Amino acid sequence: MDFKIARRVVPENVPPLSPQLHPVLDRIYRCRNVHSVEDLDYTLAHLHRFSLLSGMAAAVDLLAHALRQQLRVLVIGDFDADGATSSALAVRALRQFGFQHVDFLVPNRFEFGYGLTPEIVAAAATYDPQLIITVDNGIASIDGVKAAQQQGIKVLVTDHHLPGAVLPEADAIVNPNFPGDAFPSKSLAGVGTIFYVMLAFRTFLREADYFSQNHIAEPNLAELLDLVALGTVADVVPLDRNNRVMVAQGLARIRAGKCCAGIAAIIKVAGRQRDRLVAADLAFAVGPRLNAAGRIEDMAIGIECLLCDDGQRALELAATLDDLNRSRKDIEADMKQQALQIIDRMQLGEDAELPVGLCLYDPSWHQGVIGIVASRIKEKLHRPVIAFADAGTDAKSGMPVIKGSARSIPGIHIRDVLDAVATQHPGVLQKFGGHAMAAGMSILQKDFTAFSQAFNDEVDRKLDRNDLHHVVYSDGELSEADINLEFARQLRLAGPWGQGFAEPLFDGKFDVVDRRVIGERHLKFVLQMPGAKKRVEALAFFVNDITWLQNAKKIHLAYTLDINEYNGVQSVQFIIKHARAVT
């Protein structure tokens, strides 16, 4: 896919932050709407107050009653990394507060689907719960909440997904995106939401003198911020300042060796250095291994790893997660190739054009991997993509059902698109939910063609055609003097970088001094800035078509400045994100 580079521009109303900052880093921050040095203070004192979350008082009352009565509590989470970290955090915190009967249940996506469904409530009966706490789900669980309450089970919903027109009649709901909610950050992940609930409950117990009266050490909830950091980054929610505070604090704990045994074990099997860990490592190394459990087998494995306090057992569970991740990669590679073949067939006619809203389906596809395939195709073609897989039969009609996972591009709010399709084509969408950039849905297999057309029409209606051009936002060129280890170290630790607070990306034209293929799909370059003496190594990973790069004498790169360490020696290197030959 071709791309164009747009240089970020510092807003006129944002003056330089501090003469103590490297001038390039100062400019990078200002381009990301940092208005003062105080905005970079990530101490916990700067977290938004939990009292601003609507429903918090009702949630605390519900938990207080459950603790007094020692009710049996069951935490029900989603089957992704956010759901796993949310579940582990809730279980750990509640046990520290003195709950004697706390367990977790995570829906197997292949049997129960997403959220608190009536089916998962029925499966929960073996735990005989008196209070169900949903984490990272529940805001769309109308029927599931009703089913639980009909059995006399109280329900506390904690979620961050966008609510629909109808809300569940739970005993309490905490969601920053609840209608009319005053919480300033709408970007909390599920794990951030349950963390806030636990903060509020601890304050209630402290003010009631509960800990001293019951001879219980007051829990230090900051010890759970490693879980918050992992879940927040892995869920790709925007890193506004509130989220950056929690992620920065969690990363600091991990680097200091104060993380749970499970996270330490996953870091180890992933081959990353704990004391140098950054948000990107959570996103691309730790998170995928945790997600693999829910995608391929059962997320209970991941949650058990995060709850484990025995280092050796945690390593065994992490090794299982690593094996599942390898399987996921193999499945993903096959499915992506099949998806590309489907796309090639769509373009066979002379006048054939790809839909701007692309739906793909193959009956052999793995339901747990369709989200990744949709993401890969979206990255390649830069348009909204939904990948579908078989998902059993509809309970009412007995007809085959397929589930879809959608990924979108800037400018297209994917959940709003699905909402419009549901309104204009009643009955086509069985259920759906999600965010601006990602969503999930279920439809009858027979409706795939009709839904595909309706989805494309709605995307086409909302789309500005310029949105189909992939724009790479660059922080400009680096001078030869700036390409050094010290500045690379500063950038690495200047984050946390992530969604909505993009890692610094630079661009420039370089002469190719040398190049070689590493493995089957990676390229290693030795580059030189025109007119300069300094040479620098650059790596391009997973390059599908390497012929043009192999022959290019000059290339235009968009790259990140990184550090390579080999045999204890560090050197600066580029990680190539986008590249094209220059004539």
For residues 330-335, give the mean pLDDT: 95
Same structural domain for residues 483 and 537?
yes
Same structural domain for residues 406 and 452?
yes
For residues 242-259, give the mean pLDDT: 98
Helix/strand/coil for 430: strand
- CATH code, 563: 2.40.50.460
Q: Report cis status (omega within 30 of 0) of the bond before 496.
A: yes
- What is the Cα–Cα distance from 173 to 163, expressed in whole angstroms? 11
* Residue 264 contacts residue 311 (beta carbons within 8 Å): yes
Q: Which residues lie across from 161 on neighbouring strands? A: none
Same structural domain for residues 27 and 132?
no
Same structural domain for residues 454 and 556?
no
- What is the Cα–Cα distance from 447 to 49, expressed in whole angstroms? 46
For residues 371-400, give the mean pLDDT: 93
Tell whether 45 is covered by a domain: no
Which residue range(s) make up the domain with 418?
351-468
Number of structural domains the chain divides into:
3
Same structural domain for residues 216 and 181?
yes
Taking all residues of the chain, what is their mean pLDDT, rounded to a whole number?
A: 93
pLDDT of 302 > 60? The answer is yes
Q: Which of 468, 496, 511 corresponds to the end of one domain?
A: 468
The residue with greater pLDDT, 155 or 427, is 155
Q: Which of 453, 468, 483 corresponds to the end of one domain?
A: 468
For residues 336-365, give the mean pLDDT: 89
Determine which of 8-12, 193-197, 434-438 has the lowest per-residue pLDDT on average.
434-438
**Per-position DSSP letters for 374-389, written without gaps between them:** HHHHHHHH-S-EEEEE
Same structural domain for residues 423 and 517?
no
The residue with greater pLDDT, 397 or 206, is 206
pLDDT of 561 > 90? The answer is yes
> Quick one: pLDDT at residue 548?
58
pLDDT of 432 > 80? The answer is yes
Tokens 């790259």, located at residue: 559
Same structural domain for residues 457 and 490?
no
Same structural domain for residues 261 and 399?
no
Tell whether 335 is covered by a domain: no
Q: Which of 441, 468, 495 corresponds to the end of one domain?
A: 468
* Residue 556 contacts residue 511 (beta carbons within 8 Å): no
Tell whether 44 is covered by a domain: no
- CATH code, 136: 3.90.1640.30
pLDDT of 352 > 80? The answer is no
Report residue 466's pLDDT band, with 50, 70 and 90 as the boundaries.
confident
For residue range 146-168, list pLDDT tens digits in order: 999 999 999 999 999 989 889 99
Same structural domain for residues 98 and 142?
yes
Tell whether 201 is covered by a domain: yes
Same structural domain for residues 297 and 197?
yes
Tell whether 25 is covered by a domain: yes
> Quick one: pLDDT at residue 293?
94
Tell whether 101 is covered by a domain: yes
- The tokens describing 275, both together, are 């004391």
Q: Which residues lie across from 154 on neighbouring strands? A: 131
Same structural domain for residues 111 and 72?
yes
Q: Which residues lie across from 7 on neighbouring strands? A: 474
- The tokens describing 495, both together, are 């984050």
pLDDT of 1 > 80? The answer is no
**569 phi and psi angles, rounded to 5 deg:** -105, 130
Same structural domain for residues 273 and 356?
no
Give the pTM: 0.92
Tell whether 65 is covered by a domain: yes
Tell whether 307 is covered by a domain: yes
- The tokens describing 332, both together, are 């993903």
